[in-house]
Structure 1
Amino acid sequence: MVPAWPRRFPEENQKRNSPEDTIRALGLMASYFSMASRHHSRDSTWAAIALAAKLCKGAGLHRDPARWNLPLVQRRRALFWEVYQSDISHSIALGRPPITPLSFVDCDYADEDLGSHQTICNLKYKYCRDAFVPIMDLLLSAYPTKRSYREVLELDAKIRRLQVPVPPSDNALETFYARQLLNAVLLTLHRSYMARAILNGNEAAAQDVDSSRPFDPFDSAQTPYASSVAAAYHAAEEISRSLHGFVVTDDELAGRVWFLTYHGFSAAVHSPPVRQDRPTPQLQ
């Protein structure tokens, strides 16, 4: 999450102690828990964001304010989606369901003419709504075994169509995050199926099936999940390369931001199990 809690919009008044201020304070608290405190776990961050999400619904932020002629339209929109995206990010990292189902949400995004920061934020929210939420429904539901692998590949194709050019920004962290959204999403979608492909290889080795032919997880003839291996490997490679460049630029900041270490560790875990001397694979 690139924290956007302190951002204020031109139309905002100076009213104090509003529900929006309380929600913003909880968001800042969650950001502190995740990036600046060694005394709080990821559960503390998730709990703070979950409370903020409940207060959002209590304040009606999940409904689009323009349709109800409410004031502070852009502020309410931006605040709701920042809370929603934060809840999804932490929920999927912990394997927990989201607080607010999208079927109850009709809030629009804040206007992008507010600047490049809002444009990048809206891109983050779109990936959250159109990529991470479907992934959670597909992989973290109570009955994931009823899903077919074809649905995974169809979702992959849908997610790839979300990719758009990232606008220039003076914030290096924000730009890095926006450029790695697609890779982070694809790695999240395919990593469990990559693990299944590796298990297929272990089973073949245990049964001594055609020992003269080494198991190749990229070969669709040897595992039905070869497409996921290719996608996860390529995403992990891109994340690792970009993260290395960012750490060289600002190692102190890179060590504090949780999503960098989370996705970096995930990429590192999913790169070694497959052959490193292969050319960059393409999704079939």
Structure 2
Amino acid sequence: MILAIGCYVDLNRPAESPDSEKYHMLARAALCEIPVLEDTTVETVTALYYELWFLLVFSDKKKSTDQAWALMGLTAKLAQSVYRNGVKSKVIPEEVENRRSLFWELLCLDSRLALSLGRPPSLSVKHMDCSRPMYIPDPHCDFLESSHHYQSWKHSFYVDCLYPIVDALSQPGIEYSTVLELDMQVRKFPIPEHLQRQNSQSRIMLLQQSVEPPVNLVLLQLHRTYFMRALSGPEEAFNKRHRYAPSVVAVWLGAVRMIAAVETLYRREPELAARILGYWSNTFSAVVAIALLVSRAPFTCLSPAGLQELQRARLLYQAVTHTRSSEIVPMLDIIIAKANNIFQRWYHGQDVPTLVLRHEDEHDTFIDQLIKMDSNPFVPAPSPPPTDDSFQHAHPLLTQCIAEAHERAKIMFPMRKPCQCSVGNPTTCPPSHSWTPPPHIDLSRPILPYLYAEIANPFGFNAAPAVPPITSHYTGPNSVNFELGALHPNTEQSWMGWF
């Protein structure tokens, strides 16, 4: 398995070298020759661990995720015989450390896979007595470049953030207040300065310093169900008081940051980043989330900024030369084109079948557009009625996100177009940029990624955009249907399946 992964990331070999899959098949055949249930060894569990990583990160096979889930169950059972501290069996200290490191890596991988698939984990830290590894610095490299910093942070993040989220989401009827508490816990979890350096020359350290994508993935998976329900439910208008509004902003922000993080990594290491398919599948899921928000809620201030990020993703995919990643470009273009088409039709006041807009008597100027969607009314647990501010118990970063997105919307749309909604007289619609009081923006630490000229104004809205041809449906071959009822809360794991 090490040779299979090594051939895949070896930049001296062609990106589509068949040697990687050959070694992969040989490794699987070798495992079949070993009675793993009768004689479990550390080497066997290690080989299964690398097999799991290969299936999840490098394989493009349709059933690779399902295979990884089934294999994770077997590996978890076998691993419970190798994590013991070795006091009774008189294992040498170095071997004890290897076993501890392996077991903790399996704990992290198991929870990430369970969270991605929306299933309970096979291993629980609550039921284990395996001590954490010693995290000894690598003597062959600079202390700041040693990988033990990343390993220590990753395992701490698992204990304090990842496993509590997996455990909470595995239980039926989770309260939304618990979701906001877990979100707050993740956003407050510190990242060491060693993992925030931008001038590392080591490829290994560069990948380990890319800790933002894993953190974003956890937040995306925490909020994705509530994101879908907020954009699919006709029971209450979508505004600041919507009970799931923080989840919509959290998913939008996580998707935006995911695209920007992969873009940054690709600019620094294009050859290596292009070969890690996990980055590109996560980016594609981020595009789906942003496009869904733009299609269902073009009235929100998040939508114009979302168009900019969709353009960022389009340019990123077009720059990739790797065959497997570039194969997604046609589907990506269809999804982005649909979102752009829907937004432009709303801009010109045309009928848009993906949304229903209804104003309320009491308007909240924090999010100035009010929308309603059609959907599945399923709710996991009884929720309190909407409050004046659903962001009251959310992390301030989400409020900052809305404020920055609103500033971008003001630049793209200095004047608001008359909106097409259920109100008979469009003059009763609230102004686009009426904020009382104005939001506070910390310009010293912006949270949205940098805008460059190619994406700042994707439609050229200094002039009126052209009216697109009117069509009745937005579906195409192998693409996402954004019409009401086409996507419901139970489909977010297929189209937004981050790992």
| TM-score, normalized by the shorter chain, greater than 0.5 | yes
Select the structure with the greater relative contact order (CA < 8 A; seq sep ≥ 6): 2
Indicate whether 1:89 and 2:112 are aligned.
yes
User: Which deviations, in whole Å up to 9, do the C-alpha atoms of 1:139-167 show, x marking residues without a partner?
Assistant: 233x2xx2211111111122222232252
Q: In 1, Cα distance between the equivalents of 2:160 and 2:85? A: 18
- Find the structure with the greater CA-based Rg: 2
Provide structure 1 residue ranges, at least 5 long, that are not aligned to the other structure.
7-16, 210-214
Q: Which structure has more helix as a fraction of its residues?
A: 1
Indicate whether 1:34 and 2:56 are aligned.
yes
| Deviation (angstroms), 1:182 | 2.2
SS of 1:276's equivalent? helix
2:114 maps to a residue whose letter is S
Q: In 2, Cα distance between the equivalents of 1:226 and 1:37? A: 35
Contact 1:64 1:106 in 2 (8 A): no
Could you tell me which of 245, 249, 262 is aligned with 2:264? Answer: 245
Q: 1:252 to 1:97 in 2, by over 3 A?
A: farther
Indicate whether 1:198 and 2:198 are aligned.
no
Q: Which residue in 2 is equivalent to 1:20?
A: 42
User: Which deviations, in whole Å up to 9, do the C-alpha atoms of 1:59-93 show, x marking residues without a partner?
Assistant: 3x1x5557997532321111101112122222222
Provide structure 2 residue ranges, at least 5 long, that are not aligned to the other structure.
7-38, 139-145, 295-301, 307-395, 400-499
Indicate whether 1:147 and 2:174 are aligned.
yes
Q: 1:195 to 1:20 in 2, by over 3 A?
A: same
| Deviation (angstroms), 1:38 | 4.5
2:166 maps to a residue whose letter is M
| Deviation (angstroms), 1:138 | 2.4
User: Which deviations, in whole Å up to 9, do the C-alpha atoms of 1:236-282 show, x marking residues without a partner?
Assistant: 21111111222334445434435423432332222231533359x93
Q: 1:196 to 1:183 in 2, by over 3 A?
A: same
Matches within 5 A, 1:121-140: 121-140=151-170
Q: In 1, Cα distance between the equivalents of 2:123 and 2:167? A: 13
Q: In 1, Cα distance between the equivalents of 2:226 and 2:180? A: 11
Q: In 1, Cα distance between the equivalents of 2:150 and 2:74? A: 25
Q: Which residue in 2 is equivalent to 1:220?
A: 240
Q: 1:154 to 1:37 in 2, by over 3 A?
A: closer
Indicate whether 1:189 and 2:222 are aligned.
yes
Contact 1:65 1:107 in 2 (8 A): no
1:179 maps to a residue whose letter is E
SS of 1:108's equivalent? coil
Number of residues of Structure 1 aligned to a counterpart in Structure 2 = 250
Could you tell me which of 79, 87, 91 is aligned with 1:56? Answer: 79
Q: 1:267 to 1:250 in 2, by over 3 A?
A: same
**Structure 1 vs Structure 2: percent identity of aligned residues?**
29
Q: In 1, Cα distance between the equivalents of 2:267 and 2:225? A: 30
Q: 1:277 to 1:33 in 2, by over 3 A?
A: closer
SS of 1:58's equivalent? coil
User: Which deviations, in whole Å up to 9, do the C-alpha atoms of 1:105-125 show, x marking residues without a partner?
Assistant: 132322233243122123222
Could you tell me which of 253, 266, 272 is aligned with 2:285? Answer: 266
1:24 maps to a residue whose letter is T
1:174 maps to a residue whose letter is Q
Q: In 1, Cα distance between the equivalents of 2:91 and 2:189? A: 31
Contact 1:166 1:175 in 2 (8 A): no
Q: 1:194 to 1:165 in 2, by over 3 A?
A: same
2:398 maps to a residue whose letter is L
Contact 2:114 2:121 in 1 (8 A): yes
Contact 2:114 2:166 in 1 (8 A): no
Q: 1:261 to 1:166 in 2, by over 3 A?
A: farther
More displaced, 37-46 or 230-239?
A: 37-46
Q: In 2, Cα distance between the equivalents of 1:246 and 1:24? A: 28
Q: 1:106 to 1:37 in 2, by over 3 A?
A: same
- TM-score with structure 2 setting the length: 0.45
Q: In 2, Cα distance between the equivalents of 1:277 and 1:65? A: 58
Q: In 2, Cα distance between the equivalents of 1:278 and 1:38? A: 31
More displaced, 239-248 or 107-116?
A: 107-116
Contact 1:156 1:186 in 2 (8 A): yes
Q: CA RMSD in A?
A: 3.2
